[in-house]
Structure 1
Amino acid sequence: MGRKVIVAACSLNQWSMDFLGNMKRILDSIHEAKAKGARFRTGQELEISGYSCSDHFFESDTFLHSWEVLARIIAHPGCQEILCDVGMPVMHKNVSYNCRVFFLNK
């Protein structure tokens, strides 16, 4: 007999360019997922930067702040022992991508 896995799928009320507010809501959702026994937490696309950034995707600060928020989420002590999937914009070779980032801290 196999083991069950509890997955937390989150659809948060994220705001464009509200990096700190979005980070707080992501951290709260991770905490709630862990409290309910989830081993995997998945969020929506572009949940770090917010979805409707429009022209802000032409600014390098949008990508920089997304990476800074991701680093703070990964380093947060409440993000241990759970596989997390967050959405954020990533710039690679001068092309922007809508990416998923998975991380697990043990």
Structure 2
Amino acid sequence: MGRKVTLATCSLNQWALDFNGNLSRILKSIEIAKKEGAKYRLGPELEICGYGCADHFYESDTLLHCFQVLKSLLESPLTQDIICDVGMPIMHHNVRYNCRVIFLNKKILLIRPKMLLANHGNNREFRWFSPWSQPRSVSL
């Protein structure tokens, strides 16, 4: 017999560089997901800083503030006992990646950089990010 798992997906009204507001909306979505019995909460791409940061992705402050929000999320009692999946930019070996960060009970379980970037229509992800091309795990 299989097990029932409740998954919460979120489409949030995130604003570029509104770190405090974005944090508040992320926490509210986690609260709602837990209230509905979800064990896994999946948020939108680059939800911590907002997708439309454009050339602000080049600024180290953008990355710093994303990590400050991530720290607040990890320390929040709301994120206990639910797997949280958030999107944020991360710099690794001086290369910027569009990543998913998955954590549970104050521990980061996985950081997964995006491998296929959108580069057509209005999307120009190659301008700010590099695709992850290493097929193996790398220790940070």
- TM-score range normalised by the length of the shorter chain: over 0.9
- State TM-score, norm by structure 2: 0.74
Q: How far off is 1:93 after superposition?
A: 1.3
Is 1:45–2:45 an aligned residue pair? yes
Distance 2:95 2:11 in 1: 27
- How far off is 1:102 after superposition? 0.2
Which amino acid is the alignment partner of residue 91 of structure 1? M
Show the counterpart of 2:87.
Answer: 87
Q: Report the RMSD for the aligned CA atoms in angstroms.
A: 0.9
| Secondary structure in 2 matching 1:13 | coil
Deviation for aligned residue 1:73:
0.6
Look up the SS of the partner of 1:8 in the other structure: strand
Aligned length: 106
The whole-number CA distance in structure 2 between the counterparts of 1:31 and 1:63 is: 25
State the 1:7 CA deviation. 0.1
What is residue 23 of structure 1 aligned with on the other side?
23
In structure 2, how many angstroms separate the alpha carbons of the residues matched to 1:2 and 1:77?
30
What stretches of structure 2 of length at least 5 have no aligned partner?
107-140
Q: How far apart, CA to CA, are the structure 2 residues paired with 1:79 and 1:13?
A: 20
Structure 1 segments unaligned to the other structure (5+ residues): none
Q: Which runs of 4+ in 1 moved over 3 A?
A: none
Q: Name the SS for the 1:62 alignment partner.
A: helix
Between structures 1 and 2, the one with greater helix share: 1
Name the larger-Rg structure: 2
